[in-house]
């Protein structure tokens, strides 16, 4: 599955792959693999991507067209 939205988000923010990879604590090559769909995105990285781009994980996964992140839940 190609994650076109990750590439679009990165480009819309005018981030290079090198910068995005650094901020996400992954290699530039891994970033490319995620964008091209040649490597599955681990859940923790998916959550970091959503936080980094201020969108929901469902938006990244293509399950919704709404970019709005979910509201934070209150901790007990």
Instruction: Walk along the chain (76 residues) and give the pLDDT tens digit of each residue.
Output: 677 899 999 999 999 999 999 999 999 999 999 999 899 999 999 999 999 999 999 999 888 888 887 777 776 6
What is residue 66's predicted lDDT score, i.e. its pLDDT? 83
Within a domain: residue 76? no
Q: What is the pTM of this model?
A: 0.82
Distances (CA, A) of 26 to 36, 45, 48, 63, 69: 15, 9, 11, 24, 22
How many domains, the chain? Answer: 1
The CATH number for 56's domain is 1.10.260.40
Within a domain: residue 66? no
What is residue 4's predicted lDDT score, i.e. its pLDDT? 84
Domain extent, residue 8, equals 4-61
Within a domain: residue 21? yes
Within a domain: residue 30? yes
Within a domain: residue 75? no
What is residue 75's predicted lDDT score, i.e. its pLDDT? 65
């Amino acid at each position: 599955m190609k994650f076109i939205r990750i590439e679009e988000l990165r480009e819309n923010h005018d981030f290079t792959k090198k910068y995005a990879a650094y901020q996400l604590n992954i290699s530039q090559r891994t970033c490319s693999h995620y964008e091209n769909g040649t490597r599955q995105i681990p859940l923790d990285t998916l959550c970091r991507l959503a936080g980094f781009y201020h969108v929901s994980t469902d938006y990244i996964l293509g399950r919704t067209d709404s970019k709005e992140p979910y509201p934070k839940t209150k901790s007990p």
